[in-house]
Structures are given as C-alpha cells and as structure tokens.
A and B are shown apart, each in its own frame.
Chain A
Amino acid sequence: EVQLVESGGGLVKPGGSLRLSCAASGFTFSSSSMNWVRQAPGKGLEWVSYISSSGSYIDYAESVRGRFTISRDNAKNSLSLQMNSLRAEDTAVYYCANIWGSVDYWGQGTLVTVSS
C-alpha cells in the first residue's frame, strides 16, 4: 500500500522556521519526482515546490523562492521542506505528492499556522 505521511506542522511566529517531512512507502521513492502543494484555509490549491528523483532539479513557486528549501533522502525514503522567514500568508495545509505521469499519490497533509 502506498503511503505518504507528512509531519512537522504546527504553530510558528512570523519570521520563524519550520521543517516539514514526508515519509514515503509502498512505491519506489528513489525513482519518483516529488512535490509540495499547499492550501490556505478556505482557498484553492497552490503548487509550492518540485524535486526530481535524484535531487538534481529543483524548482519553487515565486511566493516561496529564497525562503523554502526542498530536499530528499532516497536512502530513507524521505522528503523535506525547510521553511524559513515564515509569513502569515504561508498558513496552509501542506501536502507532499507524487503526481508524475499516471501516478497520483498524496499525503493527508500537515497544517502550518503562522501567527503571533
């Protein structure tokens, strides 16, 4: 069974940092590109970041570029998102997702709340 399990969300003050993790199982993680997608409360979906299977290609939405860093550890089947200089507008549920080709795997999401 495919599982993507996010963790690391929580309440953080503006300007603070948080690191999200996503543990993958049930598929060949090391061969899979991965994404982070977020959804602010009551709002639509926003693609956040992408990392290729080897980690050699990375990209970000303009709204997070320079503040967020995506990484992966293929030996541990793990994806991460380091979030720095957090703003109120980063408040959202964050999903990790493998949505390449015919594959469609999503985690259950982890809530990040940025508030003083």
Chain B
Amino acid sequence: DIQMTQSPSSLSASVGDRVTITCRASQGIRIDLGWYQQKPGKAPKRLIYAASSLQSGVPSRFSGSGSGTEFTLTISSLQPEDFATYYCLQHNSYPHTFGQGTRLEIK
C-alpha cells in the first residue's frame, strides 16, 4: 500500500500569512493526488485535483504543486474562512490513501 505522510500535523498562522502543507508518498504516484479541506461537521471539499489543477469555484489563493513522491498545497494569503483541516489523497493505486491531516488554526 502507498503511505502518504503529511506535514505538519498542525499549524498556527495569521490572516494574510502564506502557508504550505506537504505530502510525501512512499512510492511514485505521478500526479494522482488531490487536496481536500474539511470544516467541522461537514463533508470534505476538494481544492486541487491532479496535483495542481484548481477545482472549479475554489479561490485562486489555493495552489498545488508536485509530482512523483512530493506534493505541496500553498495558500498564498490566509483568509478567516481557510481555518480548517486539510488532507491529501492519493488515487494512483488501491487502496487509495489519505494523509493524516493538517489542522490549520488561527494564531
């Protein structure tokens, strides 16, 4: 199985900050990776698909990069509504696997 190691597990930041979250795959997954945002009591919402493609309707302050084994999600200027938990998901092979999550909190 492919393991996804996500870091950091938690992060404190301020409105306006630039934030980067990383996922590393235990083996190459090409660009078969998505980034999800989840708020308490809500279903996940995908922000990025195919490693770097912005999901329709998602603000352009979110961006993704990477291929193979290392991937990043960047939020260029944090907004109050961005404080949430973020997950990566690899869908290169089964079983699909999520990263452990990054909880983004207000500093």
Judging by beta carbons under 8 Å apart, are A102 and B94 in contact?
no
Contact of A108 among B43, B94, B96 (CB under 8 A): B43
Q: Which residue on chain B has the smallest CB distance to residue A107?
A: B43
Please encode chain A, from 32 to 54, with 1 for each CB lying within 8 Å of some chain B CB and 0 for all others: 00010100000011110010000
* A87 CA to B84 CA, complexed, in Å: 29
B-side contacts of A2, CB under 8 Å: none
Judging by beta carbons under 8 Å apart, are B46 and A44 in contact?
no
A104 within 8 A of B: yes
Q: Which residue on chain B has the smallest CB distance to residue A63?
A: B95
Least CB distance, B32 to chain A, in whole angstroms: 11
Please encode chain B, from 37 to 49, with 1 for each CB lying within 8 Å of some chain A CB and 0 for all others: 0100001111001
Contact of A59 among B43, B49, B55, B94 (CB under 8 A): B94
A50 and B53 contact, Cβ closer than 8 Å, known pairs A99-B34, A107-B43: no
* A45 CA to B95 CA, complexed, in Å: 13
B100 within 8 A of A: yes
Q: Which residue on chain B has the smallest CB distance to residue A109?
A: B43
A47 and B44 contact, Cβ closer than 8 Å, known pairs A102-B56, A104-B49: no
Q: How many residues of A contact B (CB 8 A)?
A: 21
Judging by beta carbons under 8 Å apart, are B100 and A47 in contact?
no
* A95 CA to B46 CA, complexed, in Å: 14
A-side contacts of B1, CB under 8 Å: 62
Judging by beta carbons under 8 Å apart, are B55 and A102 in contact?
yes
B101 within 8 A of A: yes
Judging by beta carbons under 8 Å apart, are B101 and A106 in contact?
no
* A90 CA to B101 CA, complexed, in Å: 19
* A95 CA to B44 CA, complexed, in Å: 9
Judging by beta carbons under 8 Å apart, are B97 and A44 in contact?
no
A-side interface residues toward B, CB under 8 Å?
A: 35, 37, 44-47, 50, 59-62, 95, 97, 99, 101-102, 104, 106-109
